[in-house]
Structure 1
Amino acid sequence: MEKLQQAGLFGGGLTTVSGPLVARYNDCLAMLGIKPVKLKRFQIDGLGWSPEVAAELKDDYYLNLGDANSYGIILSPEQFDQPIYRPFHSFDRDLMYAVFTAYQKEIKDITKDSAICLHVDQGLDTYYESFDLLKIEKVSVHFKISGDLDKNKAEQMALIEEYNQGNNFFHRDIHKKLLASALAYGDLRDRKVHLEPISVEVNSFYTKAFGGVFVLRDFIKEIMVFESMETFKKSISNTTHEVMLFHKEHEELHKTLVDHLIVECNLKRAETTPKYTRIKKHLLVEHLKDAEHPMAEILENEFLYKRYFNTLSPDERKLISGVEIYNEKIAQSNQFKRKDLVDYRIFLALHEPHSSIEDEHRALIWKLLVKIMPLDPVALYWFDKESFYELFPKYDESYQDWIIERIKERNKEFKL
């Protein structure tokens, strides 16, 4: 991870928590029934999740009280539009953006001396089966302010109203109560500390519940795609729901996604893309044994690349170059079949969201595609960072350097 941190590809956009902010963070943890952390300094992302706190608690999803109950913590306006490193749902970032957009002034005011705990309410106390995910159509965010600042303001305003009635300004008891409130909490009259719940409509989404599930709506039929084979097998035994069920590795899934105009692949166009070049080089690294040169040098030096490519067996070379071979032959005769010449893994990895897919769904479909076939490290970094961070340490060190450069290169254009 050190390489990624130095390259600005991990840990960026985190807000530092120290001093009194630590106590406020612990106040929010206490609301969730979590013991206070011993850390004096740590960092949090846009949702309030901290890698250091997760390490201390030995729980990457400590802000979840069960799969159906997610929470967040706001300590600073600086968290606005910052990365979320451990999202439990694909809509988490959109939710936080909606919260900060709706309550920008209030958040700035409240976080002067308090913290905000968020409860992401899906209208379900718990999930009993994977089909409960189909019930999620709207998600609401409820707010709880540490130290009951909103309640304290309400009490102070009630005292002021009582003070202004009739001759109550003569009553010493009211004077004492007002003075005590002002000394304890300051003048709260003009403070913006009340946050009404926010609701957001949810269509297609991904959740880590049940081992990872995609729920795809707004298409010909509802589709659920499972990462866990165990959950998939349990779900297909239930025939009461009109929904198409697939495991991510099933070939039938690919056909359905194409037929429903969710994904598409043009092999002629794909051959000319940087994405295809990266996939070929990734496969070369997979097949190379005992290289004398650093992987990064092999992949960037045309002469070295050809030298090492030709050390592979004929079948390995055909596998890596299958798309070029197929495009060349199909231009001469339509008798050739794609499945005979193009490796199925490469074919899947070259798919992209269908051109008709709305922008709000494109990132979700990209995420599904890299879950199905993670051969392109740049796409994996963009759309499934957790899987990328798990795989990255397993790569050859020089190949790691090459991947970092490719990500930084494509980040400038944000184009695969």
Structure 2
Amino acid sequence: MKRLIDKGLMFGNLLYVGSPALVERYARALKHLTGHTTALDEFHIDISGYSPEIGDELEDHYYLNHGGVNRQFILLSTEQKFCPLLNAHFSTSHDILKRFMEANERQLFALMATDAVAGELENSVLGVDSPEQLFDIRRIVIEADTTTGTIKESARLETMIDRFMQEEDSWFDDELIEAMVTSAKRTGNITRNPLSLEHQAFEQKNFWTAHFGGLYLFQDADSSALIASREKPQGRFPVKRILSLGERKKIGEFLQENQLAEPIVKVRGADEAQILRQKMTFVLAETLVNKGMDVAGLSYADVRRLAARYTDDLPPEYEGLAAMVRWAETRGARPKIGLDDPSYFYLMRATHGPDRDLVNMLLAELSPLDMRQLYICHKNEFYRQYRDWPDAKKAYCVDFLAREYVDNKAGARAYLFGDEE
């Protein structure tokens, strides 16, 4: 994995924590949440405050996420909203944390001026022992406060102020006034700078989870489904379909019925045909790697030229992609590529909507030879597969992503998946 780390493709965009004040706040929050301490004087954290270096130190990379549910978090800076979420067990967790930080940016900025904010993404279950329990996770509530309880103290002060304003003779209640003064020393002027946090509850209906080998739950769909990356789970589930990734035709029907995916190239002459050409190159590179060739640093043209020697060895995904490109760039009838064609999911991308990222994540797993989409849309699966790749494929992939993606991530995503509406 060293190649990925060196090129910023793994543990990239993390927040550096090196000042004594921030390190001390983090250590205090870590003790507050987990009972653990750290002896490190510098490290990096993701959007949730998880640090790979502290994970190594504790020999526990799930120290903020035991059981894979109710993820805890430590916030030191509003800049964390730009960080990725590592070791994610739910596809929605990063978005929930980011939305929470954006909705409360001013309040969090004020709180984090002197302390860390620590909390938890709470749901209605404490653990996931069976797939049935995943259907109970429909609402995530964020509980957060500073390590010294500033928000709780602010709520207590607000209650005392209301009592002071409403009760007769409150001016003569020395005990109440003394309590208000003491509390205000900790919270500041809450009438001018309220310290409550908004938007603390989030609905979670359609999501991916790493539990049970990887499951996609589409509960909020006209035709609901549970799609398993490995074997289908056994049990009774409140969905119309229970599928595995091997049931490609049925998954295609599900995406069509719910209008969740569309062809990348819809009309002849479209610029999107270039996306399919790039996918063809990834397929060709896979063929060359399997022949023992070093393809790192080669251009699209170089890969196609070398692969011309092995046309009989090309995987079936290639012909469907090539046929669609020929139709888009030349004359002729549009090829009929069925749901069970190996190239079908390589030709699709998610439609605009709230489940766009989730569907692109599913499509990435259904088209694994497109290593770029797998990296962008499903990093957990990318890292899992990467460990078993031959060295030549690792080198090619890292070189390509470093050249074509890292410097313009937003532009690449817009180009591949369409602009956000």
TM-score normalised over the length of structure 2: 0.78
Distance 1:326 1:220 in 2: 30
Q: Is the Cα contact below 8 Å between 2:280 and 2:318 reproduced in 1?
A: yes
Q: Is the Cα contact below 8 Å between 2:283 and 2:370 reproduced in 1?
A: no
Distance 1:241 1:319 in 2: 34
State the Cα deviation string for residues 148-176 of structure 1 (Å, max 9, x = none).
334556778869x7xx843849xxx969x
Structure 1 equivalent of residue 419 of structure 2:
none
State the Cα deviation string for residues 273-332 of structure 1 (Å, max 9, x = none).
2332222222222222244x75423x34x3x44541222142528763444347869986
Structure 2 residue 145 is matched with structure 1 residue 140: no
Distance 1:402 1:242 in 2: 40
Q: Is the Cα contact below 8 Å between 1:271 and 1:323 reproduced in 2?
A: no
- Give the counterpart letter for 2:116 in structure 1: A
Structure 2 residue 381 is matched with structure 1 residue 387: yes
Q: Is the Cα contact below 8 Å between 1:110 and 1:192 reproduced in 2?
A: no
State the Cα deviation string for residues 337-382 of structure 1 (Å, max 9, x = none).
646xx994332222212x4x52x21111101111222222222222
Distance 2:157 2:254 in 1: 60
Structure 1 equivalent of residue 312 of structure 2:
314
Structure 2 equivalent of residue 33 of structure 1:
34
Question: After the TM superposition, which of the residue ranges 33-42 and 81-90 deviates more from structure 2?
Answer: 81-90
- Residue 55 of structure 1 deviates from its aligned partner by 2.6
Structure 2 residue 391 is matched with structure 1 residue 397: no
CA distance change for structure 1 residues 318 and 35 in 2, over 3 Å: closer, same or farther?
Answer: closer
- SS of corresponding position for 1:280: helix
CA distance change for structure 1 residues 20 and 290 in 2, over 3 Å: closer, same or farther?
Answer: same
CA distance change for structure 1 residues 272 and 11 in 2, over 3 Å: closer, same or farther?
Answer: same
The residue correspondences of 1:193-204 to structure 2 (distance < 5 A) are 193-195=195-197, 198-204=200-206
- SS of corresponding position for 2:68: coil
| Structure 1 unmatched ranges of 5 or more | none
Distance 2:3 2:363 in 1: 26
Structure 2 equivalent of residue 97 of structure 1:
98
Q: Which residue, 201, 205, 208 being the options, matches 2:207?
A: 205
- Give the counterpart letter for 1:374 in structure 2: P
Distance 1:95 1:333 in 2: 45
Structure 2 equivalent of residue 78 of structure 1:
79
- SS of corresponding position for 1:310: helix
Q: Percent identity?
A: 21
Structure 2 residue 372 is matched with structure 1 residue 378: yes
Distance 2:258 2:78 in 1: 42
Structure 2 equivalent of residue 369 of structure 1:
363
Q: Is the Cα contact below 8 Å between 2:276 and 2:347 reproduced in 1?
A: yes
Q: Is the Cα contact below 8 Å between 2:118 and 2:146 reproduced in 1?
A: yes
Higher Rg of the two aligned structures? 1
CA distance change for structure 1 residues 278 and 115 in 2, over 3 Å: closer, same or farther?
Answer: same
Q: Is the Cα contact below 8 Å between 1:214 and 1:224 reproduced in 2?
A: yes
Give the alignment's Cα RMSD to 1 decimal.
Answer: 3.9
Distance 2:17 2:94 in 1: 20
The residue correspondences of 1:185-200 to structure 2 (distance < 5 A) are 188-190=188-190, 192-195=194-197, 198-200=200-202
- SS of corresponding position for 2:202: strand
CA distance change for structure 1 residues 214 and 24 in 2, over 3 Å: closer, same or farther?
Answer: same
Q: Is the Cα contact below 8 Å between 1:224 and 1:246 reproduced in 2?
A: yes
Question: After the TM superposition, which of the residue ranges 68-77 and 260-269 deviates more from structure 2?
Answer: 260-269
Q: Is the Cα contact below 8 Å between 1:142 and 1:196 reproduced in 2?
A: no
Question: After the TM superposition, which of the residue ranges 96-105 and 323-332 deviates more from structure 2?
Answer: 323-332
| Structure 2 unmatched ranges of 5 or more | 165-169, 417-421
Structure 2 residue 214 is matched with structure 1 residue 217: no
Question: After the TM superposition, which of the residue ranges 259-268 and 108-117 deviates more from structure 2?
Answer: 259-268
Structure 1 equivalent of residue 256 of structure 2:
258
- Residue 128 of structure 1 deviates from its aligned partner by 4.0
- Give the counterpart letter for 1:86 in structure 2: N
- Residue 257 of structure 1 deviates from its aligned partner by 2.3
- SS of corresponding position for 1:132: helix
Distance 1:156 1:261 in 2: 51
Distance 1:129 1:380 in 2: 27
The residue correspondences of 1:33-182 to structure 2 (distance < 5 A) are 33-151=34-152, 165-166=171-172, 168=174
Number of equivalent positions? 395
Q: Is the Cα contact below 8 Å between 2:34 and 2:64 reproduced in 1?
A: no
- SS of corresponding position for 2:373: helix
The residue correspondences of 1:200-349 to structure 2 (distance < 5 A) are 200-229=202-231, 232-235=232-235, 238=236, 241-251=238-248, 252-265=250-263, 273-288=273-288, 289-291=291-293, 294-297=295-298, 299-300=299-300, 302=301, 304-316=302-314, 320-325=318-323, 338=337, 344-349=341-346
Distance 2:110 2:278 in 1: 48
